[in-house]
Amino acid sequence: MKKKSLSVKKIIHKNLVNNLKKPKIKLVYSEFKKPLNSKKLAVAVSGGADSLALAYLAKCYSILNKVKIKFYHLDHKLRHNSGEEAKLLKYKLKKFDINCKILVWKGKKPNSNIQSIARENRYKLIIKESIKDRINTILVAHHIEDLYESFLLRLLRGSGLKGLASFSALNTKAKHNLNINILRPLIGQSKNDLLYIVKNTFNFYLKDPSNENKYFKRIRIRQLINNLKKEGLNEKKLKMTIKNLSDSNITIDHYVKENMRLNSNLSISNNKIKCMIRNEFFEQPNEVTFRSFGEILKKISGKYYSPRGKSISNVLNRIKSKKLNKMTLSGCIIEKLNNSWIIYAEKSKKN
């Protein structure tokens, strides 16, 4: 690198880090860096204020800690000007010594369930790129308002405790790839604070018109929350409710693990294609048995998701009522063997 270019780079870095002295930004940064412990990270950059605040904080972290960070933006090609927006974002970030790689979602686009499918493809492409770059931690810009929205969405769908509490997790495994972690270092921050960071650093962000489109349920939920705030919605109490649910979920997970311990109720063979379950396994509280059984089926089948809750409940009811001898579910064969149960992969041969 030429001396002039190196000098310019140092000035850019100095200016970026100096903004951390602002009290509000300093406070957010101190929380942001706590869960970070990897020497290589990836940042998902949508171009909105939230993700650009994340990009700024990540860049400062890389400067101060000499950590390698890759920045990825996905061009969904869902809007006619998305390509131009991606180029503009790349150009703007380059001024701050951030090289943002543009990934493109190719192929036919959906006519329904657009946001969900787009989100799924965004993760798939960013995960694929991260694997290429040998990165196993991806930072996303979910904040406290996203948590509220997801909570209400899942509540409307009739989600159970695990579904209501799961989004609040700081760190989760990526779908379809258990070696990739999705980290939400801003999950406790407000959108207003993130907007403040962007305005006082990059002073630029893209506005997504779909954020105003009432066709999407998430947008209607967002507007509902804003209306509830006017009616006196206490965000602190809502946050406490989600935390209490999360704590309860952790407690149940503890008993699920106990129920699945190899030396207790569950025995898995070395090749992990079958397991033996004693009757005691089914004598635990319903939620513990339900989750344990789902996890076993997931392990045996090798699938990312457990079977649908209704299917699991049906099998458990038949087992407890002694109306089941053998059946197949989610690529697994469930078979009664004396006073125990054996579960093995459908394609494998029982020993």
User: Residue 19 pLDDT more than 70?
Assistant: yes
User: Are 199 and 305 within one domain?
Assistant: no
User: Residue 265 pLDDT more than 60?
Assistant: no
User: Are 237 and 274 within one domain?
Assistant: no
In terms of DSSP bridges, do strands 177-183 and 137-139 run parallel, antiparallel, or are they unpaired? parallel
User: Residue 170 pLDDT more than 70?
Assistant: yes
90/351: higher pLDDT: 90
User: Are 55 and 96 within one domain?
Assistant: yes
User: Residue 266 pLDDT more than 70?
Assistant: no
User: Are 15 and 69 within one domain?
Assistant: yes
Question: Secondary structure of the chain: what % helix, strand, coil (to 5)?
Answer: 50, 15, 30
333/267: higher pLDDT: 333
The pLDDT assigned to 349 comes to 44
Residue 125: which pLDDT band, with cuts at 50, 70 and 90?
A: very high
Question: Taking a C-beta distance cutoff of 8 angstroms, is the pair 242, 147 a contact?
Answer: yes
At which residue do the structure tokens 């998701």 appear? 305
The pLDDT assigned to 18 comes to 96
User: Are 306 and 266 within one domain?
Assistant: yes
User: Residue 267 pLDDT more than 70?
Assistant: no
Question: Based on the structure, what is the number of domains in the chain?
Answer: 2
User: Are 162 and 90 within one domain?
Assistant: yes
Mean pLDDT of 124-145: 93
Contact partners, residue 78, CB within 8 Å, separation at least 6: 109, 114, 118
Residue 257 resides in a domain: no
Query: What does the DSSP assignment read for 50-110?
Result: HHHHHHHHHHHHHHHHT-EEEEEEEE---STTHHHHHHHHHHHHHTTT--EEEEE--SPPP
Residue 291 resides in a domain: yes
User: Are 143 and 13 within one domain?
Assistant: yes
Domain termination site, one of 245, 270, 293: 245
Residue 270 resides in a domain: yes
Mean pLDDT of 69-82: 89
Mean pLDDT of 189-206: 94
The pLDDT assigned to 350 comes to 45
User: Are 171 and 25 within one domain?
Assistant: yes
Work out the percent of the chain whose per-residue pLDDT is above 90.
40
The pLDDT assigned to 263 comes to 41
Residue 251 resides in a domain: no
Instruction: Single out the residue of 317, 298, 300 nearest to residue 308, CA to CA.
Output: 298
Mean pLDDT of 167-172: 75
Residue 325 resides in a domain: yes
Residue 109 resides in a domain: yes
Mean pLDDT of 308-318: 88
Instruction: Single out the residue of 183, 187, 182, 193 nearest to residue 144, CA to CA.
Output: 187
User: Are 239 and 291 within one domain?
Assistant: no
Q: What are the CA-CA distances from residue 308 to residues 21, 159, 254, 305, 344 (Å)? A: 50, 12, 22, 9, 18
Q: Per mean pLDDT, which range of 107-111, 181-185, 288-292, 346-350 is the poorest?
A: 346-350
* Structural domain boundaries enclosing 282: 262-345
Question: Taking a C-beta distance cutoff of 8 angstroms, is the pair 29, 60 a contact?
Answer: yes
The pLDDT assigned to 271 comes to 58
DSSP state of 226: H
Q: Per mean pLDDT, which range of 39-48, 94-103, 183-192, 252-261 is the poorest?
A: 252-261
The pLDDT assigned to 177 comes to 62
- Three-state secondary structure call for residue 291: helix
Residue 148 resides in a domain: yes
Mean pLDDT of 313-320: 90
